Structure 1
């Protein structure tokens, strides 16, 4: 992927993709937080489940860091209802399961953080890291309080961007913030 102009500045800005799949207020808060940390943020608003699959399957066209903002349930990422004519065949009870993620994700070497409840289990880690080839996938293994997810993302990216820590070290630091942050678990390639 060619470097964005912001990466060529004297003080380069790191590109981060924020993907809003159903929690716009959280996505906008996280966008502002990341920009305050010096990132250049692209906000993606996939309108359909297929749009989301196109995004996570785009390989080098996707930024190095991806934050998925949305809701989750026992089935996966919640997408909700759509009008007739929109392909929802990949959803199970209006949610996208990890098996579909595994089939479509092409995130070679990317760092992916999900704020959606229940998307931090091993099956999601495998879908993004083993099948999708992400370097690191982080998500909540449970249902964090709504305000805890943006705080976790802030702590993670503060360690990553401001403190220049590795993604693994940034995860450890962010998880150490408090008990609620421990709900966020990470899966790395090769581990």
Structure 2
């Protein structure tokens, strides 16, 4: 059985629910993590907030200029030393320890090489993300098609990636790094 963690950022709940329902229908075990503050995101990135048997981490976040969009909290809400602002490659490099997992990122511009390399240096087996401002529906379809290939068709991740990226011009913006 495939074990998948879906990590949900600001205003990405419908996408995450759609992915979860599809993956569970395909037979995967799915755990959803709702991110409301930077500390929770760091717990996931560090691996502390994940079960040990997770094979895939799917990030359902908005992305902007190669950074994860984090909702801004009121200044009195942040904990002492909790980071503020968006998370880019420097923050991923600092906090991530996602050993032996495959990362799938549906957010805009979160497939750029520098960000991917930060995840790979953290121990991730592979990283998939879009290098452009991908249409949200296309990102959803790409992710579902990717996992359909892996789970139902028993394809390798690379084979499933190739097929999922052929849906349309939007899905061609996704890149695979390992």
Structure 1 length-normalised TM: 0.85
Do structure 1's residue 16 and structure 2's residue 4 form an aligned pair? yes
Does the 8 Å contact 2:130/2:173 carry over to 1? yes
Question: 41, 49, 53: which is aligned to 1:52?
Answer: 41
**In the alignment, which residue of structure 1 is the partner of 2:29?**
40
Question: 135, 140, 146: which is aligned to 1:150?
Answer: 140
**In the alignment, which residue of structure 2 is the partner of 1:113?**
104
Q: Number of paired residues?
A: 173
Structure 2 length-normalised TM: 0.90
Q: Distance in 1 between matches of 2:24 and 2:112?
A: 29
Q: Distance in 2 between matches of 1:176 and 1:135?
A: 23
- Structure 2 gaps of 5+ residues are none
**In the alignment, which residue of structure 2 is the partner of 1:85?**
77
Q: Deviations over 1:114-169 (max 9, x none)?
A: 11111010011111112x11111111100111111110001100111111111122
Q: Distance in 2 between matches of 1:123 and 1:68?
A: 17
Report deviation, 1:186. 1.3
Q: Distance in 1 between matches of 2:47 and 2:135?
A: 31
Structure 1 segments, 4+ long, off by >2 Å, are 59-62, 87-91
